[in-house]
Structure formats: structure tokens, C-alpha cells
């Protein structure tokens, strides 16, 4: 599992659990809040109506405190008003009926009047909490289901004492069905669920951004280390984070240290091995020259051998120094615009005597408008000379070398290909031809070179941010493909 996926899952699990319990708590609280909000005006309405009833209490009872059948006109009007259609648009809800009623009881809890018609006159409600507690001098309220199996049939009741002369003579209870508030409750709960979903999506988006912010520098650093492991020379990635920048510098220092140590060891071993043969030849020739009686022609032969082997050593040391210098560089110091076609032509002209002496034919295909790109002319010259020298040395007499420069489709750069008609690279050697000191015998002489030419060419190309590879042609021959950005 990737680090990005772990961060996303971590955010989702923690955020999802926290959001679930938090939202669930709020959703449960919504209904209670609406009921509390509805109960507050019911208390006001009950006490206002109780005060009005108290003012007309004398018209409701006789001298013996028996109930009269006649009611005050306003109570009949209130009962009539409860049947109105208010056509009230309350935000998204259209209210088309008055759903608040009230009933009045005497001091014994018997119903005097009920606007809803639910309780007949004389019904004993003295045991109901709204009536019982109000008669006891406490706040009385209750919620009762009209249908026991239906939780949506609950009705809220709030009682208020009817007081005459400081004495509680009755109870006025206001009632309101909870169903009238459920639309508001459900709408609020739906809104909260949508907000919760949007919050979850925002959390996922934020988690993705955070994971990218955390993992992107790690991926950059991983790519840098992998490129170094492949032998490339990538530029050290730049980071805004101080910690990541220090880590990148530490990796670069480690790379330089390991490369210096490995290179030194490899150079010593390889140089020791490569110098054995010319030194042995020089020593053997010099020992023979010391002896007396060496014929003049043999003396000249031995001196020629010494000179040849000394030049070989000189070339070997110069190539090693150039390779060491290139391997230590991480980037080009000063790049200048180079006409790659003109540079290639000049190299071909300089080495004309060599390939003409072998009867080779050079076919050139360069764009007419030139192909300029940024680079170091000295390093590119080294790369091109070694590639052309390889093509000449492996081509059969009177063969053909084709040099072509073109734009690679889909990439902003130039591709130079050099083809020969030689025997090609054996399969076992294809993965080693760019290794230091690895060389194949030349077809005409059977001798090997220093094995540094292709290594130098690759290092020069890598410093330019390019690519270099060899491939076999059919039916025979080798193709060197060099790509440079620009």
C-alpha cells in the first residue's frame, strides 16, 4: 500500500468516525431543539389564555361554583379561529391550518371546554401531568401519543394555572401536534446530512492535497536516488521544505562520497590491469635493446614498439583523466548554442584521411536549416569522435557509414544516428559496451582498444541530459543513437 493511499485512508477513517458520531449527535439533537423551540411560545400562549379565562371566570361558574353551560364569546371565537386556513408561507413550508388548540379544566381537573373536541365536557384529566402538576403549583407539561404504535402521533401539552384571588381555580392547557414540526425537523436533518457529505468530500480533497504535499517531495527524492543508481547524473531536486532540502543535500553528499570511493577503487584496479600489457612490452623491448649485437632493423622495431606502447599509455591516462573529470561533474558549467550538424561535418572532415584510407563511404543527411541546441562543444566533440571512430574501426573495407540528424517525433530535441555495416555487437556484449575498459576485438586486426571511448561518449551525453544507446541492424551492422534535448 502506497504512502498516499495510507494517508487518504487514515484521514477517511478518523474523519469518517468523528463525523459520524458528531453528525449523529447533532441529528438527534435537532428534533429536541425544535420541540424546545415550540414549547416556549406554547408556555406564553397558555399563560395569556389563562389570564383571559381568569378575567371571565365569574361568567363560567355560579354562586355555588357549579359550571354554567354558557361560555364567554371570545372562547367560541378562538374555537372558530382554529378552523381557519392561514395560507402562511413559512420559508419552504405552506401552513394551511391552525394546529394549536387548548382545553380548560376546573380545580378538580374536569374538562370545561376543549377546542379540539378530543375531550368531552366533564372528562377527568386530573391525572394528566399538565393538569396534575399545574394544580400542585408546578410547571406542568406532557407529550402523549394519540396512537400508541405511531411515534408521529405525539401531541405536546403545556398547562398554565387559572388564578382568581390568589387561588388556582383551574388549568388551561395548550396542545400542539408534533407532526406539524416534523417537516422542519426532517428538512434540517436532510440539510445537515448534505453538509456532512460535503464536509466528507472536502476532507477527502484536503487529504489528497495533504498527501500530495507530503509524498510529492518523497517521490522526487526517490526518483533522484533511482536515477543515481542507474548511473545517471540528475540535478538535485529543489525543495521549499528545509528538512527535505537538507535530506536531498545529504543524499547528494552520500552519492559523491560513494562514487568517489568506488571510482577510485575501479580506476586503480582497471589502470593496473590495462597498464600491465604496454609496460611488459616496453620492458621486454628495452631489455632486448640493452643486449649487444642487436641488428639495426630489430633495434628500430623495438624502438617503434616502445614508442607505440608509450603512446598507448599516454592515451589511456589522458582518457582516464577526462573520464574522471566528467564523472565528477553534475551539470554543464557553461552551455552555448551549438550547430550539431556543423560540428559533425567538421569532425568528418578532420578524419577524412582515416576513412578514405579504408575506402569507406560516408553518407550524410542533415537538415538544411541547421540544428542548434545548448551544450558544451568540447564534450560533444569527444562523444561524436568516439562514436565515429568506432563506426570506422568496425566497418569492413569499402563499406558505408550513414550519419543522419533529425528531430525526434514527440520530443523537443535532436537525434543523431550513426550506422555501419560491421559485424554488429554480440548479444553477450550488448549490456557491457558502455562499461569502463570493456572492448571488443576489431575485425581487421583482432586488437582491442582502451575500452574508454564509449564510456566517455555516454558520460558526455548524460551531462547534456541526453541518451545514448547501441542497437544491431539487420542483416548486419550497428546503429548508435544519440538524443540531445534542446
Collapsing DSSP states into helix, strand and coil, what is residue 8?
A: helix
With contact defined as beta carbons under 8 Å apart, do 486 and 374 qualify? yes
Q: What is d(CA 161, CA 171) in angstroms, rounded to the nearest whole number?
A: 5
Whole-number pLDDT of residue 43: 93
Whole-number pLDDT of residue 233: 66
List all residues 6 or more positions away from 327 whose beta carbon is below 8 Å from its beta carbon. Answer: 259, 263, 459
With contact defined as beta carbons under 8 Å apart, do 138 and 131 qualify? no
- Per-residue model confidence as pLDDT tens for the chain (486 residues): 666 677 667 767 777 777 777 777 777 777 777 777 788 889 999 999 999 888 888 777 654 444 555 677 777 777 677 677 777 777 667 676 778 889 999 999 999 888 888 899 889 999 999 999 999 999 999 988 888 787 778 889 999 999 998 899 999 999 988 877 777 777 777 777 788 788 878 877 877 777 777 777 777 888 877 777 776 667 777 777 777 777 777 777 776 666 655 555 555 555 555 566 667 667 777 777 777 666 777 777 777 777 776 776 776 666 666 656 665 665 666 778 888 888 888 888 888 888 888 888 889 888 776 667 888 888 888 888 888 888 888 888 888 999 998 876 556 778 889 999 888 888 888 888 888 777 888 877 777 776 777 887 888 888 888 888 899 988 888 999 998 887
With contact defined as beta carbons under 8 Å apart, do 422 and 459 qualify? no
Count CB neighbours of 446 within 10 A. 7
Whole-number pLDDT of residue 47: 93
Helix (H) / strand (E) containing 250: helix 242-290
Collapsing DSSP states into helix, strand and coil, what is residue 105?
A: strand
C-alpha cell at 243: 528538512
C-alpha cell at 16: 469518517
80, HSE (Cβ side, Cα atoms, 13 Å): 5
Taking alpha carbons only, the member of 304, 324, 322, 323 closest to residue 312 is 304
The CA R_g of the chain, rounded to the nearest whole Å, is: 50
Domains assigned to the chain: 37-186 (3.30.450.20), 244-328 (1.10.287.130), 336-485 (3.30.565.10)
Residue 59, CA distances (Å) to 54, 56, 72, 73, 160 in order: 10, 6, 7, 11, 20
Whole-number pLDDT of residue 299: 72
Q: What is d(CA 371, CA 404) in angstroms, rounded to the nearest whole number?
A: 12
Residue 430, CA distances (Å) to 272, 426, 469 in order: 25, 6, 10
Whole-number pLDDT of residue 64: 44
Amino acid at each position: 500500500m502506497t504512502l498516499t493511499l495510507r494517508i487518504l485512508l487514515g484521514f477517511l477513517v478518523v474523519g469518517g468516525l468523528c463525523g459520524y458520531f458528531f453528525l449523529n449527535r447533532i441529528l438527534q439533537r435537532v428534533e429536541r431543539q425544535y420541540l424546545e423551540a415550540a414549547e416556549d411560545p406554547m408556555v406564553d400562549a397558555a399563560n395569556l389564555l389563562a389570564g383571559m379565562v381568569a378575567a371571565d371566570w365569574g361568567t363560567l361558574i355560579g354562586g355555588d361554583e357549579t359550571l354554567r353551560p354558557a361560555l364567554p364569546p371570545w372562547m367560541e371565537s378562538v374555537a372558530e379561529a382554529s378552523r381557519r386556513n392561514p395560507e402562511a408561507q413559512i420559508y419552504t413550508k405552506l401552513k394551511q391550518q391552525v394546529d394549536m388548540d387548548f382545553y380548560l379544566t376546573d380545580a378538580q381537573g374536569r374538562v370545561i371546554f376543549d377546542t379540539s373536541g378530543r375531550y368531552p365536557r366533564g372528562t377527568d384529566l386530573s391525572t394528566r401531568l399538565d393538569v396534575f402538576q399545574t394544580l400542585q403549583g408546578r410547571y406542568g407539561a406532557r407529550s402523549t401519543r394519540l396512537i400508541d404504535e405511531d411515534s408521529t402521533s405525539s401531541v405536546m401539552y403545556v398547562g398554565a394555572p387559572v388564578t382568581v384571588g390568589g387561588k388556582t381555580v383551574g388549568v388551561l392547557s395548550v396542545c400542539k401536534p408534533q407532526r406539524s414540526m416534523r417537516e422542519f425537523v426532517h428538512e434540517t436533518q436532510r440539510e445537515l446530512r448534505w453538509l456532512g457529505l460535503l464536509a466528507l468530500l472536502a476532507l477527502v480533497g484536503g487529504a489528497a492535497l495533504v498527501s500530495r504535499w507530503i509524498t510529492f517531495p518523497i517521490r522526487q527524492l526517490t526518483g533522484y536516488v533511482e536515477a543515481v543508481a542507474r548511473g545517471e547524473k540528475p540535478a538535485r531536486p529543489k525543495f521549499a521544505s528545509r528538512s527535505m532540502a537538507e535530506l536531498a543535500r545529504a543524499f547528494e553528499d552520500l552519492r559523491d562520497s560513494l562514487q568517489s570511493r568506488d571510482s577510485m577503487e575501479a580506476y586503480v584496479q582497471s589502470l593496473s590491469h590495462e597498464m600491465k600489457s604496454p609496460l611488459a612490452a616496453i620492458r621486454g623491448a628495452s631489455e632486448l635493446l640493452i643486449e649487444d649485437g642487436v641488428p639495426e632493423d630489430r633495434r628500430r622495431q623495438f624502438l617503434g614498439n616502445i614508442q607505440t606502447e608509450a603512446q598507448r599509455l599516454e592515451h589511456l591516462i589522458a582518457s582516464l583523466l577526462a573520464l574522471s573529470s566528467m564523472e565528477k561533474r553534475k551539470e554543464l558549467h557553461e552551455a552555448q548554442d551549438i550547430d550539431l550538424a556543423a560540428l559533425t561535418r567538421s569532425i568528418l572532415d578532420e578524419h577524412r584521411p582515416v576513412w578514405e584510407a579504408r575506402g569507406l563511404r560516408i553518407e550524410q543527411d542533415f537538415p538544411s536549416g541547421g540544428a542548434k541546441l545548448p551544450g558544451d562543444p568540447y564534450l560533444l566533440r569527444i562523444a561524436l569522435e568516439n562514436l565515429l571512430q568506432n563506426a570506422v574501426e568496425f566497418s569492413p573495407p569499402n563499406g558505408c557509414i550513414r550519419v543522419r540528424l533529425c528531430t525526434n517525433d514527440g520530443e523537443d530535441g535532436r537525434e543523431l544516428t550513426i550506422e555501419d555495416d560491421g559485424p554488429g555487437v554480440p548479444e553477450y556484449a550488448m549490456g557491457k559496451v558502455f562499461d569502463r575498459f570493456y572492448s571488443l576485438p576489431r575485425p581487421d586486426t583482432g586488437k582491442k582498444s582502451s575500452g574508454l571511448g564509449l564510456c566517455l561518449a555516454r558520460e558526455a551525453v548524460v551531462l547534456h541530459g541526453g541518451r545514448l544507446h547501441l542497437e544491431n541492424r539487420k542483416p548486419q551492422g550497428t546503429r548508435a543513437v544519440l538524443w540531445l534535448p534542446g
